[in-house]
Amino acid sequence: MKPIYQFFAVFWLFFLPFTVISGDNNKNLIFKGCASQKSPDPTGAFSQNLNTLFTSLLSQSAQRSFASTTAGTDNTTAVTGVFQCRGDLPAAQCYDCVSKIPKLVSKLCGGGGDDGNVVVAARVQLSGCYIRYEISGFRQTSGTEMLFRVCGKKQSGDPGFAGKRDTAFGAAENGVKTGGDGGGFYAGQYESVYVLGQCEGSLGNSDCGECVKDGFEKAKSECGDSISGQVYLHKCFVSYSYYSHGVPNISPLSDGEKRQHTQRTIALAVGGVAVLGFVIVCLLVLKSAMKKKSKYDSY
């Protein structure tokens, strides 16, 4: 029986870790913005300040959804940066999302100090959070400058689509003005349209409303009659989706967790069946080998 115990020990060690599939979509890359300019960093001061900035932002992401800070006191090497998480992410998921970005900055933008240069400004936007930073004195960008947009397929077939969409947009514009915890945030629906808007925490209520309004205007002009769209401005972002059969039950934590749970359940079920089948085959082989051994022992 001892060989059987050894077999099971090896089996559990090497096969169980592969039976769970992650479905977390909060860390999907949406876009990256990298300044073309790189700053010489012969002393490594800029790189050190950037690392300090990332460490500070990551630490704060465990308690809040937005923070802005500066690392360094020398105007030539000081770095200012912010992080923000989507307003419906709990602290643990916010931290997990933000923790993925520092390495992505170097990977996607280069100039991580290894070549003696550092990119003077960058932004990496994931589906659940973003980090942006800039060297002191870098050119300021308008809060309503459009950085990125995604439009879905055209035409819903619903003659009332445009009216429903515009009403939902208006609700979001008003909703973000009363949002809290690191910037205005609103997620809701009007009939068949689900809409979301969020501002960077540095914006006041009035400015937030204006930024989101501008975002929806850009969504209408850029996406036309698309049934879904996402528009990212420098200081806010908006998204909307039309559901012909009505908006599904979307939890405050988004459907990502639901999909993750479902995928894990399916993976475990499939993995369990595979485990059972593998065990049965191995036991049959072992049984056959033992029979042959007994046969040979009888001679």
- Per-run averaged pLDDT (10 residues), the chain, 299 residues: 31 26 68 90 90 96 94 89 94 96 91 73 95 85 87 84 93 82 79 94 90 95 93 95 83 42 34 41 47 41
Give the pLDDT confidence score for residue 282 in this predicted structure.
44
Give the pLDDT confidence score for residue 177 in this predicted structure.
84
Give the pLDDT confidence score for residue 245 in this predicted structure.
81
Half-sphere exposure of 247 (CA within 13 A, CB side): 22
**pTM over the 0.85 mark:** no
Domains and CATH numbers, the chain: 24-135 (3.30.430.20), 146-242 (3.30.430.20)
Give the pLDDT confidence score for residue 101 in this predicted structure.
96
d(Cα 121, Cα 188) in Å, to the nearest integer? 34
Give the pLDDT confidence score for residue 209 in this predicted structure.
92
